[in-house]
Structure 1
């Protein structure tokens, strides 16, 4: 009789820290996920959206203010499968209402779940973003999620239901001008997200 198969070793935060800086690493339920840095269209969509939201919502210029809007913040949440372990996720963009988080933490990560996240999809990350990260965001109570696809030129808008499941609220395409929660105080021109 053969030996029983060994359980694979759970990755730790130390494994994540050992990833070379030219890669993006995230840790979900003990599995380390390593990806190349974003491609130009991905970076353009993320940067464009951040620029559109930061003025009116983070700085209060031409909008209501009241938010922290950040690029690629590292989020730490308890891993429900392993006491003492964490899930470490890095959304492309995230936002916190200042009423929930009046000051930025002193740590290099955020333990408080954002109110909104945005993931910019790429061929190498789309299934991970949808199948691994979105359930963690729901579990942690993130209220709003946007998935931006710079190749298909779409913005998918999700809202968290009472059952902690995502509901697809809308899909916007191409150069649409839209008002989308939680940032519906301004109109977004989606054309600024796509590389020209």
Structure 2
């Protein structure tokens, strides 16, 4: 398969699993999206956040992962080969270990962080917000690396995302799903 921004043909995880490991793809509702190479700033933010999350999770039952890490989001209970949505969030935390297997995660993570890149901004802010809400991701953060803000979506009691909150990176930001974890953004000033 050649690299393209978006392929209109419909695919499943069975197709995806056969594609070259030299190319990065996501499937959303059967549509294949090529993953762009991230910028240096994007990677610095992911690296630092990953370190803070790793330190917090030591000795706890939740597990954290950085991309590339496959998150399969089945519609119901279909077999993996029939799943038509596989994403690779920048950062993922899963507290229900029964969702983890050698392929990655099957089902909604508890927390997902996407660091915006110019090539993926619309997908991360619109398509993935809808997708993560639909599948029950409890907390979704969108990080804007150059504008220095974080948009936070959390599921309400109806299973829908409440109106997002937007925070600057001028002070630590606490999570709702892991309330004793607070992300310190001081590192951003050094990027």
CA contact (8 A) 2:74 2:107 kept: no
Taking structure 1 as reference, are residues 104 and 193 closer, same or farther at Cα in structure 2, changes over 3 Å only?
farther
Tell me, in whole angstroms, the C-alpha distance in 1 between the residues paired with 2:174 and 2:51. Answer: 16
CA contact (8 A) 1:93 1:119 kept: yes
CA contact (8 A) 2:152 2:164 kept: yes
Give the corresponding residue for 2:146: 151
1:123 aligns with 2:121: no
List runs of 5+ in structure 2 lacking aligned partners: 1-7
Taking structure 1 as reference, are residues 153 and 15 closer, same or farther at Cα in structure 2, changes over 3 Å only?
same
Q: Secondary structure at the match of 1:148?
A: strand
1:36 aligns with 2:31: no
Tell me, in whole angstroms, the C-alpha distance in 2 between the residues paired with 1:103 and 1:16. Answer: 18
Give the corresponding residue for 2:134: 139
CA contact (8 A) 2:24 2:35 kept: yes
Tell me, in whole angstroms, the C-alpha distance in 2 between the residues paired with 1:177 and 1:77. Answer: 31
List runs of 5+ in structure 1 lacking aligned partners: 1-7
Give the TM-score taking structure 1 as reference length. Answer: 0.79
Cα shift at 1:20:
5.8
Tell me, in whole angstroms, the C-alpha distance in 2 between the residues paired with 1:77 and 1:159. Answer: 18
Taking structure 1 as reference, are residues 164 and 55 closer, same or farther at Cα in structure 2, changes over 3 Å only?
same
Give the TM-score taking structure 2 as reference length. Answer: 0.81
How is 1:1-196 mapped onto 2 (pairs within 5 angstroms)? 9-13=9-13, 14=15, 17-19=18-20, 21=22, 23-56=23-56, 58-60=57-59, 65-72=60-67, 73-79=69-75, 84-97=82-95, 100-101=96-97, 104-105=100-101, 107-193=102-188, 196=191
What are the Cα deviations for residues 76-104 of structure 1, in whole angstroms up to 9, with x where unaligned? 12257x9934211111111112xx21684
What are the Cα deviations for residues 112-149 of structure 1, in whole angstroms up to 9, with x where unaligned? 32111111111110111122122121111111111111
When the two structures are aligned, how many residues end up with a matched partner?
179
CA contact (8 A) 1:26 1:34 kept: yes
Q: Which has the larger radius of gyration?
A: 1
Q: Secondary structure at the match of 1:48?
A: helix
